[in-house]
Chains A and B, each alone.
Chain A
Amino acid sequence: QVQLQESGPGLVKPSETLSLTCTVSGVSINTGGYYWSWIRQHQGKGLEWIGYIYYTGSTYYNPSLKNRVAISLDPSTNQFSLRLSSVTAADTAIYYCAREYLHTATTYYFDYWGQGTPVTVSS
């Protein structure tokens, strides 16, 4: 059974760096066809894609966050991580890690999600 679990500080000070880790179980993150993703959701709002990393280490980020985001992979621990720098109150949200699967060339979907972790940016 595939499971994802986010971990990290729930409170980050403005201008500092938010760091979260997603621990994956039930599948190796070194497997092709999966994009290991971070998604966030502001209170009462829709979902916002942050970015993903492929098992090769290739990354792609939401252009609106690109200058502040870094996603990395650690196959030895079967984890992937998010770093978001220079945070402000606007980065306060629930952060989800998820697995996106390449079903066909025209169909992708997120089949497994973590439970989500709330992060508040405040001094």
Chain B
Amino acid sequence: SAELTQDPAVSVALGQTVRITCQGDILRRFYASWYQQTPGQAPLLVFFGKNNRPPGIPDRFSGSSSGNTASLTITGAQAGDEAVYHCSSRASSTNPNVVFGGGTKLTVL
């Protein structure tokens, strides 16, 4: 089945680097997109595709993909980066479901 798996929680010390991962076989065919969600807010797109950051997103956010794993890296994490991060992808070209991971709660210590 088309599923994306994320660690439920990750922590990082202020100013350090953290990698948030998303795993699933569908990532062998499609790139992931990444969303930041703070309490009470709608998700915000922070990274997508092979190497794309939307306008206005700080360059400390970067992404990568290898095999069945997509990663979002935050270099020099700030307090304002504390949020839930969701990954998403399409299931396949013949099964156009949209799939979300369960989300990773990032705590900045």
Contact = CB atoms under 8 A, between A and B. Distances in A.
A46 B101 contact: yes
| Chain A: number of interface residues, binned into ranges | 20 to 34
A100 B42 contact: no
Contacts of A52: 98
A6 B86 CA distance: 21
Interface residues of B, number: 27
- The 10 lowest CB-CB distance pairs between A and B, nearest first, are A109-B33, A107-B49, A49-B98, A109-B48, A113-B42, A47-B100, A46-B103, A46-B102, A107-B31, A106-B30
Contacts of A107: 30-31, 33, 48-50, 52
B101 A109 contact: no
A9 B50 CA distance: 40
Given A110-B88, A116-B42, A100 B54 contact: no
A48 interface: yes
28 contacts: A39-B100, A46-B100, A46-B101, A46-B102, A47-B43, A47-B86, A47-B88, A48-B100, A49-B97, A60-B97, A62-B97, A96-B43, A100-B98, A103-B52, A104-B49, A105-B93, A106-B30, A106-B31, A106-B49, A107-B30, A107-B52, A108-B89, A108-B98, A109-B49, A110-B33, A110-B43, A111-B54, A113-B44
Nearest to B29: A106
A10 interface: no
A26 interface: no
A109 B42 contact: no
